[in-house]
Amino acid sequence: MPVADFPGTHNWGYDGVSLFATARCYGAPDDLRRLVNTVHHHGLAVVLDVVYNHFGPDGAYGFAFSPFYASTRHANPRGAAVNFDGEHATHVRTFVMENALHWLHEYHLDGLRFDATHAIHDDTGRHIIAEVAAHARASIAHRDLLLVAEDERNLAAIVRPVADGGWGLTAVWADDFHHISRRISAGDHDGYYQDYSDDARDLAATIGRGWFYTGQRSAYSGALRGTDPAGITPEHLVTCLQNHDQTGNRAFGERLHHQIDAAMFRALTSVLLCAHETPLLFMGQEWAASTPFLFFTDHNAELGRLVTEGRRGEFSRFAAFQDEAQRSRIPDPQATTTFDESRLRWPERVRVDHAAMLTFYRTLLHLRQSDPAFRQTPLCEATAPDEHTVIIRRPAPSGELLMVARLRGQGTVDISRWVTSSEHARWSVVLTS
């Protein structure tokens, strides 16, 4: 089943106020419990985003109780790194493990999504997230937990079983799919996008392997990136076309469908939802929401000023923002309008253009859930007959499924190599965009 990305539930993050408290702007603890119960009633699971890689720059009152929460050995660009391997780290590790159990026990959540595990520094013999996962599963053995890592390293150990030396998590984000898709469709080439081509054959290879970088050198970082995902079944890898970070970190919060035409967006959506990895949908993506998702904050005036300056300064290395006047157009994270403009406009779902996209998503999701080619096996074959086209073939005894997505340009595609040719084979169109 696909997973949904709805940002903003756990209130640590930048603020770091209290790991055990629900944010008052979302309601009281019982409000969250009612929300979880209601979602469960509709047959859906709830996974909470937890931030254990840094303390925020404002309101991190844990330091008032002990200086040992912050690491003196490691740094984190978003705030003080958490002390998981220094003096008195045992108590900090226990504190974090108990925090994870608190959310799972007290609110009956179905799992946790661990923010930026690549930024969690731990030089002990057992990584803190692996320990949290084992502790949580031992404590809540009566139900399956969904434990997911956001990690940019393409690190296969995260989802390998503990018996094989892994962390034993349920899934890990596989960002290469997103990056190649944006390079192909929107032409992004700054920053880490320089590591990717606009060739559909690379996208097909990424689907086939699970991620593109399996140990090659990254031009962006100058270091080797990725590990071999061999043996990892694809449902353990989470792919997307959009998420809250990739959208919110853009200067003007543009969603992918704001920057490419609807035909290409539908084609990429077909690739995402027909591939064998677990797809993630960002809120509003399914109806091509008109609203941006901007970077917004609510700090005190002095810190807010520094955040605004820093936010705009970050873009100075991008070609489009070399000019200071251009950088000044980037919305102020502290402005109330920046937050308000990011709210979804739910009534627009019934407008013709948005309703058509919503119908397209619903049809693909129903196909993914009901067609035997998806239900009988998680595996598919992905290939690219040329640099503009991706073909996904899902074999099944009861009838295979073939998805052909022309991502760019006009023309026909010869699919004869990928279709079964026998007197008993009968093909029919299931869906076309």
115 is catalytic: yes
d(CA 221, CA 268): 27
Return the SS3 of 299.
coil
Identify the residue whose tokens are 């997103």.
Answer: 178
400 is catalytic: no
Count of other CB atoms within 10 angstroms of residue 328: 10
Q: What is the DSSP string of 62-113?
A: HHHH-GGGB-SS---TTSPBB-SSSTTHHHHHHHHHHHHHHHHHHS---EEE
What is the token pair recorded at 219?
Answer: 């031009």
The candidate with the shortest Cα–Cα distance to 269, out of 360, 389, 371, is: 360
Catalytic residue among 49, 110, 115, 195: 115
Three-state SS letters, 368-431: HHHCHHHHCCCCCEEEEEECCEEEEEECCCCCCEEEEEECCCCCCCCCHHHCCCCCCCCCCCCC
Residue type, 112: L
Cα-to-chain-centroid distance, residue 131: 23
Identify the residue whose tokens are 């504190």.
Answer: 95
d(CA 203, CA 405): 12
CA 64 to each of CA 16, 19, 68, 70: distance values in angstroms, whole numbers, following the listed order:
12, 14, 10, 11
Please say whether the beta carbons of 389 and 404 come within 8 A.
Answer: yes
Residues serving a catalytic function are 115, 150
